[in-house]
Amino acid sequence: MIVTVTANPAIDRTLALPHELARGEVQRLTGSESQAGGKGINVSRALRASKLDNLAVFPASADDDFTHLVEAEGLRMLPVRIDGKVRTNFAVTETDGTTTKLNEPGPHLSADEATALVAAVVTASRDADWLVLAGSLPRGLDSSFYAALIDAVRAELGEAAPRVAVDSSDAPLEALLASGTRVQLIKPNAFELAELSGVADGDALEADPQLAADAAGWALENGADAVLATLGGAGAIYRDADTSLFATPPPTRVRSTVGAGDSSLAGFLLASVTGASPERALAQAVAHGSAAASLPGSGVPSPEQTQPDLVSITHLALTGDHSNSTATSTKENAS
Ligand SMILES: Nc1ncnc2c1ncn2[C@@H]1O[C@H](COP(=O)(O)OP(=O)(O)OP(=O)(O)O)[C@@H](O)[C@H]1O
Ligand SMILES: [Mg+2]
């Protein structure tokens, strides 16, 4: 079982215009739709598509429109009551492909609401293999929140505490890694890993998997036991203390990369709960991410839509292991 936490959920509301957006004018939409959004929800949605039992925890009242959307999808959920209303993020789409995003600030969580969220996550984590902390933090939660949450889970559950995977960025991720609270996995993209490690920029990491693996090495020394770094169309790398791997995607007709990284994480977890090797888990991560990229919108793939056997895995040099650094990469099939 996997628990996902979406501390800062949002209703993603798409407003479709039949022409250009004209400021100051009244314009008719050709359609509008709402979906429950937030990285933890996306991971839960992708896990559910693979029939992996999971529970989505988020702060929202039971009668919030957001909660109704999650419920309507049939996701297993644990909403933690708050006074405020879940924010809505609007995406205004024009026919030429332009999208304008207008994001609400969202509610301000009180200290009591933060405490209730921690308590709910601790309780939910009792039977969990993995605890996934995904996305940004709402107003009212200090950037130290993720570390405090993990500490609370470990204090209560001890050895039985789930492994922790984090897909976040900026202050919440930086504060977590600086806190001394270790996590089993982080899932940055190239830009997030560049920002975090200070090693080159995101474009450079996407272009050079060895450089991305070096940057991941920085994260290993700073609080993460393993790094799954997705590199957009280039694939992904996996790095832990004794393994450094690069995976390239299967042939993919890209429709929408929105949420692809969240599907990558779901694919990795899916493989890891079956005891798969890092090679297999990385292959499933890239297969899941690329299958998600081939689907429209924020669609998530079923396992049948993924092609892990078409993911090619290359072994990279372990940074600092100079005996290895001049060796040529060996290539093997993930299967
Ligand atoms: N152009 C592409 N072609 C093939 N696969 C892609 C492409 N873009 C993304 N992917 C797949 O999706 C995975 C995740 O992509 P990316 O690194 O862009 O994630 P991300 O930035 O974390 O996305 P998000 O946070 O929006 O979910 C990649 O590892 C790859 O498998
Ligand atoms: Mg991402």
State the closest ligand 1 atom to the C-alpha of 258, by its place in the atom list counted from 1: 26
Q: What is the pLDDT of residue 325?
A: 37
Helix (H, G, I), strand (E, B) or coil at 66: helix
Please indicate whether the domains covering 1-167 and 184-335 agree at the CATH topology level: yes
State the closest ligand 1 atom to the C-alpha of 188, by its place in the atom list counted from 1: 22
8 Å CB contact between 162 and 133: no
For the CA atoms of 169, 15, 50, 47, the dihedral, rounded to the nearest 10 degrees, stands at 30
Class of domain 184-335 (CATH, top level): alpha beta
CA separation for the pair 187, 163 (Å, rounded): 14
Whether residue 334 is predicted with pLDDT greater than 50 in this model: the reply is no
With a 6 Å cutoff on the Cβ, whether 247 touches ligand 1 is no
Whether residue 318 is predicted with pLDDT greater than 90 in this model: the reply is no
Ligand 2 (ion): residues with CB under 5 Å are 189, 261
Whether residue 321 is predicted with pLDDT greater than 70 in this model: the reply is no
CA 63 distance to own-chain centroid: 26
Centre of ligand 2 to C-alpha 172, Å, is 14
With a 6 Å cutoff on the Cβ, whether 260 touches ligand 1 is yes
The amino acid at 156: E
Ligand found nearest the CA of 257 = 1
State the closest ligand 1 atom to the C-alpha of 287, by its place in the atom list counted from 1: 31
Reported as a single tens digit per residue, the pLDDT across 47-76 is: 999 999 999 999 999 999 999 999 999 999
Reported as a single tens digit per residue, the pLDDT across 206-215 is: 999 999 999 9
CA separation for the pair 104, 281 (Å, rounded): 36
8 Å CB contact between 190 and 230: yes
Any idea where the domains of the chain sit in the sequence?
1-167, 184-335
Ligand found nearest the CA of 261 = 1
Reported as a single tens digit per residue, the pLDDT across 256-273 is: 999 999 999 999 999 999
Supply the mean pLDDT for the chain: 94
Q: Could you name the CATH architecture of 1-167?
A: 3-Layer(aba) Sandwich (3.40)
CA separation for the pair 319, 310 (Å, rounded): 27
Reported as a single tens digit per residue, the pLDDT across 271-312 is: 999 999 999 999 999 999 999 999 998 899 999 999 999 999
